[in-house]
Amino acid sequence: MTNDEKIVSMSLEKIQQRRAKRRRNRKIKRIIAAFTSLAVCLTVSGFVYSSYLKEVSITEIDEFNGTYETKTIRTRAENVTKLLEKNGVTVSDTDRVNVPIDAPVNDKEDIVITRGKNMTIKANGGEKTVTVTKADPKEALVEAGFVPDEADQISSDGNSIELTTIDEEEEIINEVIPHETVYEDDADLEIGTESVRTEGYDGNLEKKFKVVYQNDAEVSRELVSETVTVEAVNTVIARGTKPTPTPTEPPKPAKASQTRSSGSESSSDSGANSYRPSGFASGSNGTIDGHSYSKKITMTATAYSTSAHENGGYTVSAVGNPLRYGIVAVDPNVIPLGSTVYVTSADGSWTYGIASAEDTGGAIKGNRIDLCYESESETRVFGRQSCIVYVLDD
């Protein structure tokens, strides 16, 4: 091989060596680039993987057992139900969770589970089963919708709560203070004659009580105060002491228009239902028309009929007998109910006769008397007239 050939051969070998070196360098660079890319991918993948983890706290409160636990976990659970299942937390129908059980899980979320139980509430004679989470009986009642007062009594055995309501009320009762009838002698009035000087009336006593109710039933009553709001006023009646003069002339006859007989009764003095069309008879020696009397009273007479609409719907007297001629209404403080009376005009112009005092009236007070007639036509013409009423002994 000539020198020129050697020189050319050596040049070609160097060129090949340089090319081989460049190929090795490019390969190393590709390997380094591949490793670099792989490292980046692994780093990014790890970051993405880590970014799906959520930090959540779970708190369990059980007042009945006196426990309170909180734990923080990292999770990729999609909702609260799966999160609790994966962490071994069970929830019963009586427990309460602060978020919907099927809600998605959010990062940094606080999930609180409050343990509850069924409790029987007994109040006012009834029972109701409710779910409560409060171990304190009073707080459990409030949670169940009962609002006890401070005075109420509460007891519990762990499974039931009994509420006894205690209420205090002020009660006012008005009592009648009865008035009395006082008699005073009057020398200007004849013996057996009376006249009301003062119309009396009852008083009123107001009593205040503190009443205690337990479950709406009264258990105690205490008198707090008594106040006389209206003073009673006594009825004052003047009683005559003047001797009765002897009559000097015969009595005048009664007017036919003002006298009548009841039904088919005779005119004899057979009782309160009879009518005697005799003339006016003055009392003499304590007798009137043959009947002895204990009192002789000057009164104002009016008349009413047996009609129901004239008597507030009633057709019976105050003592329960059917209204009829011969019944009269009086003030029981002046003439006691059940008395037999003899009624005649003060001037001798008419005589009602023997009657039974067994009715009363709102306007019949003091020296007033109301005479019962069968028809309204008779009462319309009567008006007000002065009369003498004898309270008979028989």
Question: Which burial class, exposed, middle or buried, applies to 262 when counting CB atoms under 10 A from its CB (0-12, 13-18, 19+)?
Answer: middle
3 state SS of 219: strand
CATH number at residue 215: 2.20.230.10
Q: What distance in Å separates the CA atoms of residue 141 and residue 278, rounded to the nearest whole number?
A: 86
Both 259 and 230 in one domain: the answer is no
pLDDT of residue 243: 83
Banded pLDDT at 365 (limits 50, 70, 90) = very high
Return d(Cα 280, Cα 346) in angstroms, integer: 9
Q: Could you give the CA distance from residue 225 to residue 205 in angstroms, rounded to a whole number?
A: 10
Sign of dihedral through CA atoms 372, 376, 380, 381? negative
Give the pair of three-digit tokens for residue 104.
């998605």
Q: Residues 254, 334: one domain?
A: yes
Q: Which of 196-205, 253-262, 332-341 has the highest mean pLDDT?
A: 332-341
Task: For residue 226, give both structure tokens.
Answer: 């008594």
- Angle subtended at Cα 176 by Cα 171 and Cα 181, rounded to the nearest 5 degrees: 170
**Model confidence at 69, in pLDDT bands (50, 70, 90)?**
very high
251 and 379 fall within a common domain: yes
45 to 30, 39, 74: CA distances (angstroms): 22, 10, 18
Rg (CA), the chain: 57
**Residue 231 maps to a domain:** yes
Q: What DSSP line would sit under 158-170, residue for residue?
A: SSEEEEE-EEEEE
| The one-letter amino acid at 178 | P
**Token pair listed for 260:** 């009548």
CA 52 to chain CA centroid, Å, is 64
Instruction: Kindly state whether residue 44 falls inside one of the protein's structural domains.
Output: no
Which tokens in the block code for residue 8? Answer: 């050319």
Q: Is residue 28 part of a domain?
A: no
- Domain containing residue 59: 54-114
> Is there a single domain that holds both residue 361 and residue 250?
yes
Residue 37 pLDDT = 62
Shared domain for 308 and 204, answered yes or no, is no
List the beta bridge partners of residue 113: 60, 97
CATH number of the structural domain spanning residue 255: 2.40.40.10
pLDDT digits (tens, 9 = 90+) for 39-64: 555 554 444 444 478 999 999 999 99
**63 and 75: one domain?**
yes
Is residue 33 a part of any domain in this protein? no
In this structure, the answer to whether residues 101 and 223 fall within a common structural domain is no
Contact present, 194 and 182 (Cβ < 8 Å): no
Last residue of a domain, one of 192, 208, 239: 239
Whole-angstrom Cα distance, residue 149 to residue 138?
10
- Distance CA(238)–CA(235), nearest Å, equals 10
Q: List all residues 6 or more positions away from 107 whose beta carbon is below 8 Å from its beta carbon.
A: 54, 55, 56
Q: Worst-scoring range by mean pLDDT, 25-39, 98-112, 156-170?
A: 25-39
pLDDT of residue 220: 94
| Cα distances (Å, whole numbers) of residue 225 to 156, 169, 205, 213, 220 | 39, 14, 10, 19, 16
Q: Is 329 in the same domain as 190?
A: no
In a domain, 35, yes or no: no
The string of DSSP letters for 244-286 reads PPPP-SPPPPPPGGG----TT--SS--STT----PPP---BTT
Classify residue 334: in a domain, yes or no. Answer: yes
Mapped onto helix, strand or coil, the DSSP state of residue 382 is: coil
Counting the structural domains of the chain, the total is 4
For 335, the token pair is 């003439």
Residue 203 sits at φ, ψ, to 5 deg, of -100, -175
pLDDT at 26 > cutoff 80: no
Domain boundary among 239, 254, 284: 239
Here the CATH number for the domain that contains residue 97 is 2.170.130.30
Give per-residue pLDDT as tens, 239-291: 888 886 654 443 333 333 333 333 323 233 333 333 333 333 444 458 998 89
pLDDT value at residue 42: 52
CA atoms of 354 and 328, how far apart (whole Å): 10
Whether pLDDT at 34 is above 80: no
Whether residues 283 and 220 fall in one domain: no
The answer to whether 161 and 200 have CB atoms below 8 angstroms apart is no
Q: Are residues 261 and 311 in the same domain?
A: yes
Q: What is the pLDDT of residue 285?
A: 52
Q: How many alpha carbons lie under 13 Å from residue 360 in its C-beta half-sphere? A: 14
Q: Within this chain, do residues 340 and 372 fall inside the same structural domain, yes or no?
A: yes
- Region at 322 (left for phi over 0; alpha for psi -120 to 50; beta for the rest): beta
pLDDT at 162 over 80: yes
In a domain, 265, yes or no: yes
Does any domain span residue 22? no
| H/E element, 358 | strand 351-359
- 370 & 264 share domain: yes
Helices (H), the chain: 3-51, 80-86, 137-143, 376-380
